[in-house]
Amino acid sequence: MQKADVLARRVGERAFASVTWTVDAEVDPAATVMAAARPGEPFFCMEQPGRAGYAVCAMGEAVAVTRSGPDRFTAVAADCRRLAERILGDDPAGDPGRPAGAGPVFTGGFAFAPYGGATPEWSGFEPAQLALPEVSIARQGGEARLTLTVAVEAGGAEAALRRAGERAESLHPAAMPLLDPDPVARPRVSGAAAPSHYEDAVRRAVASIAAGEMDKVVLAREVRVQTGREIDPAPVLDALRAGFPDCYCYCVGGRGATLIGASPELLVRRDGARAQTVALAGTTRRSADPAVDDHLGEQLMGSDKNRSEQAIVARRIERTLAPVSVWVTAAERPVLIKVLNVQHLATPIRAQLARPVPAVELAGRLHPTPAVGAEPREAQSMIPALEGLDRGWYAGAVGWTDLSEDGEFCVALRCALLRGDVAHLYAGCGIVADSVPAEELAETEVKLQALLPLLA
């Protein structure tokens, strides 16, 4: 704390003192931070339980970085780099077993569009928003670390130490609350627009593709659930991670609303000079009958429409990574990714970076892939007029980055924005030349089933 005080005096700005220690890996990181977060306080959870219990969860805000506009990813990366120069913490080299995301990290996300999230329901979600949390817990592979970070004003070491002590005392192992199986109020489900609006949008998109204006576009729709009671995100997140252990189960909130979801799609993961991502496009439903389920997967793998849609995404990602990489390699053919309610075509892609491009900048280079945007990229400008909605953070990026500029971001899919007693659910489909409006509408209904049963 004293060293941070000295640094704050020298540079004339706040410094940050951080300490990391080992905790029991049996502790539930998400339940712990959500139980300890104060009313209205920001919190962040990102888990992939099937990946050796991977979790990075946080609460509080020692400092926040917000940006908007086309360069928001690059600007946020630069802001975080400058702040990192004023963060004094433990040397990671002294703890080689620590999981990814341990130590001081910036957590948050990015809207789909450069100025996205301007409508009232998205209040509190900036186009780009990362925070250095006061508390973060990282866990994976039987290892867990808790990090405490506080801002230190010049001459304010004692006050900062007192705040750190109060924060540490507020932390206790917790369990997630359960969903109410029989709520008194009966939820009401309605579309933000009529289903025919979505089918008309698909028809117009197909006409634009036939006219050569674009090759592919992703169109989303919104469904609203009014529950008649304040929605607690904690049991919803708990249900998502139980049902979708191989997805990124995420929850970002605290400013009057919460974004929650279970995404199958990695946008980017950077670990030193190594980068990983996945081209995910092409979807079909699941079946409780194993034989039928396998048949549906075989149909998806053999579908010219879906394979073409998938190839568009993979090619764009490879082209985007090539200028900053020594090499980029993609799987020769897509694989099937099966989650609770749907199965997808996915092509894993890896790259060896030629220079240390920050994880946030890599996310900005890749976002939006044609899996959520359009091909060519310029055709993305047609999406708002076709959809008629503000995506906000839907199909944006959610994740974290550390002081080494490593990090991990997923695409914010299969999500709901919870505000009071209303949930805004979003789902989209990739539209190509031979898309059929009724079939695309039906696909959105299948995707909505990730969250709809938990809220309605």
Q: Which residues belong to the active site?
A: 216, 265
CA 12 to chain centre: 35
Task: Confirm if 370 and 216 have CB atoms less than 8 A apart.
Answer: yes
CA dist 91 and 80 (Å) reads 18
CA dist 236 and 225 (Å) reads 14
Vertex 455: Cα angle to 228 and 183 (nearest 5): 55
CA dist 272 and 446 (Å) reads 38
Cβ atoms < 10 Å from Cβ of 189: 14
